[in-house]
Structure 1
Amino acid sequence: MPSISTRAGDVSYSNRGSGPPIILLHATLHTSHDFDSIIPQLSLRHQVIAVDWPWHGASSHPKDLHPTAPLFADVLEDIVNSLNLPPAVFIGNSVGGFASARLAITHPEKVKGLVLVNSGGFVPWTFFLRTLTRPLGIPWVNKLITPSMVWKYMLPQNDVDKAISEEVSALAKTAEGSKIAASIWASFLSPEHDLRSQAKDVKAPTLVVWGKNDPVNPLNVGVATQKSIEGSRLEVLDTGHVVFASKPDEFLEIVVPFIDECFGKNRA
Structure 2
Amino acid sequence: MTVALPAADELTVAGRRMRCRISGGGPPVVLLHGIGRTLDDFTAQQELLAADHRVISVDLPGHGGSAPLDVPHTLPALAAAVADFLDTAGVTGPARLVGNSLGGAVAMRLAADQPHRVASLVLVNSAGFGKEVTVALRLLALRPLGRLLLRPHPAVARRTERAIFRDPAYVTEERIATALAVARQPHAARVMLELVRDLGTWRGVRPRWREDLLAAVAARDLPTLVVWGDRDLILPADHLVAARTRLPGARTHLFRDTGHMPQIERAAEFHALVTDFWAEAA
- TM-score after normalising by structure 2: 0.79
Amino acid at match of 1:244: Q
Provide Cα deviations, 1:6-46, integer angstroms capped at 9, x if missing partner.
49x33232110111110001111211111111212211111
Amino acid at match of 1:21: P
Amino acid at match of 2:265: S
Amino acid at match of 1:117: V
Structure 1: gaps spanning 5 or more residues: none
Greater mean alpha carbon deviation, residues 142-151 or residues 48-57: 142-151
Distance 2:54 2:185 in 1: 35
Contact 1:93–1:119 under 8 Å retained in 2:
yes
**Which of 29, 33, 39 in structure 2 is aligned with 1:32?**
39
Amino acid at match of 2:36: L
Q: Which runs of 4+ in 1 moved over 6 A?
A: 129-132
Change (3 A) 1:43 1:217: same
Q: Name the structure 2 match of 1:256.
A: 275
Contact 2:60–2:78 under 8 Å retained in 1:
yes
Number of residue-to-residue matches in the alignment = 258
Greater mean alpha carbon deviation, residues 206-215 or residues 77-86: 77-86
- TM-score after normalising by structure 1: 0.83
**Which of 137, 141, 149 in structure 2 is aligned with 1:137?**
141
**Which of 226, 231, 239 in structure 2 is aligned with 1:208?**
226
Contact 2:75–2:109 under 8 Å retained in 1:
no
Contact 2:35–2:101 under 8 Å retained in 1:
yes
Amino acid at match of 2:198: S
**Which of 67, 70, 78 in structure 1 is aligned with 2:73?**
67
Q: Name the structure 2 match of 1:221.
A: 239
- 3-state SS of the aligned residue for 2:254? strand
Contact 1:34–1:164 under 8 Å retained in 2:
no
- The aligned runs of 1:3-82 (5 Å cut-off) are 3-6=11-14, 9-62=16-69, 64-82=70-88
Q: Name the structure 1 match of 2:10.
A: 2
Greater mean alpha carbon deviation, residues 18-27 or residues 196-205: 196-205
Change (3 A) 1:90 1:208: same
**Which of 92, 98, 111 in structure 2 is aligned with 1:85?**
92
- 3-state SS of the aligned residue for 1:239? coil
- The aligned runs of 1:84-163 (5 Å cut-off) are 84-123=91-130, 125=131, 134-138=138-142, 139-140=146-147, 142-143=149-150, 147=157, 148-159=159-170, 163=174
Q: Name the structure 1 match of 2:4.
A: none
Contact 1:153–1:216 under 8 Å retained in 2:
yes
- 3-state SS of the aligned residue for 1:227? helix
Greater mean alpha carbon deviation, residues 114-123 or residues 189-198: 189-198
Is 1:182 aligned with 2:190?
no
Q: Name the structure 2 match of 1:167.
A: 178
Greater mean alpha carbon deviation, residues 145-154 or residues 51-60: 145-154
Provide Cα deviations, 1:84-139, integer angstroms capped at 9, x if missing partner.
4321110101111011111222222211111000111232x37xx79985432243
Greater mean alpha carbon deviation, residues 231-240 or residues 187-196: 187-196
Change (3 A) 1:79 1:174: closer
Q: Name the structure 1 match of 2:248.
A: 230
Taking only aligned residues, the RMSD between alpha carbons, in angstroms, comes to 2.9
Q: Name the structure 1 match of 2:261.
A: 242
Structure 2: gaps spanning 5 or more residues: 1-8, 201-205
Distance 1:208 1:162 in 2: 30
- 3-state SS of the aligned residue for 1:219? coil
Contact 2:35–2:192 under 8 Å retained in 1:
yes
Percent identity, aligned pairs only, is 28
